Structure 1
Amino acid sequence: MGVRVRVRITCRDMSSETVALLNSGFESSEPDIAVPIAVARDLGLWPPQSFELETVSTAGGDVQVFYIGNEPCTIELLDEHGRPLDSARCKIIIDPHLDETLLSDYIIDELGITVISFRRGLWRHRSDPPDSVRHSA
């Protein structure tokens, strides 16, 4: 099943609300999120004006992505009612092969997300009581 959370991504004056998959295998030393072209378009980042073309290794093999590291963007973790639980600055990677947004291990930690069960899609936020359980979006 995986754990998916609702997020709002904002770059400059444009934003997009979407569901994002927590991907602990997306290891990064930066607050990276990977978005499909549709989300990049909603954010005014597609087609990209300034980017670094990078080759990254994925479970499906090596792919080329557009790294938009110099664009000031933020990501908000939203609750089931659309209210912000947490936020962080993030860097955008546009991956034309994706059909959903992926959150890196770095940004998962920055947003205070603790996974309870990947298989059942259960998680909690660091501000939640210890017995609180949230369900995948």
Structure 2
Amino acid sequence: MGVRVRIKLEAVTGKTAYVIALLNSGAESERPSIALPMEIAEQLELDKLKAETAYSEEATTSVEIKLYRDAVKCTLIDGNEELTSTILDVAVAEGLTEPLLSDSAIDALNIEILSFSKGLWRIRGENKIRRGM
């Protein structure tokens, strides 16, 4: 099933998007980051920013990505409640079908995954258990 959460992305361009993102513990990154499909990157007008060309190593291949450093403020949302926020780098790659939060982004948002198969998570240090989207 995987764990998916609702987040608000506020880009340095002034644009905002609300999306459902998959918590991808297998996506390792030194800095908190999110991988976005091109459509969401366009909605946030990230193409107006300077991007670095980088490569993402995946299980069987290497993919060229556009990397925007410190490009969005990401706020974790549960219902109408804003829980935690952090600044993220954004990786944009062709063919991506949904937003993916990296391992370091998951940590920066203080998310503790309790069950991948049941989609259960909580904020580190809290008792309230939440169900993914």
Aligned to 1:68: 68
Identity %: 35
Aligned to 1:17: 18
CA separation of 1:60 and 1:17: change in aligned 2, threshold 3 A: farther
In 1: Cα distance, 2:42 partner to 2:71 partner? 16
In 2: Cα distance, 1:127 partner to 1:4 partner? 20
TM-score by length of 2: 0.92
- Alignment RMSD: 1.5
Moved over 3 A (4+): none
Aligned to 1:50: 50
Tell me the alpha carbon deviations over residues 61-86 of structure 1, each in whole angstroms, 9 at most, x when there is no partner.
211110111x542100000x132100
Aligned to 1:95: 93
Amino acid at match of 1:114: E
In 2: Cα distance, 1:94 partner to 1:120 partner? 28
Give the drift of 1:22.
Answer: 0.4
Aligned to 2:28: 27
Give the drift of 1:127.
Answer: 5.2
Unaligned runs of 5+ in 1: none
Aligned to 1:134: 130
The total of aligned residue pairs comes to 132
In 2: Cα distance, 1:88 partner to 1:42 partner? 20
In 2: Cα distance, 1:60 partner to 1:20 partner? 23
Amino acid at match of 2:20: V
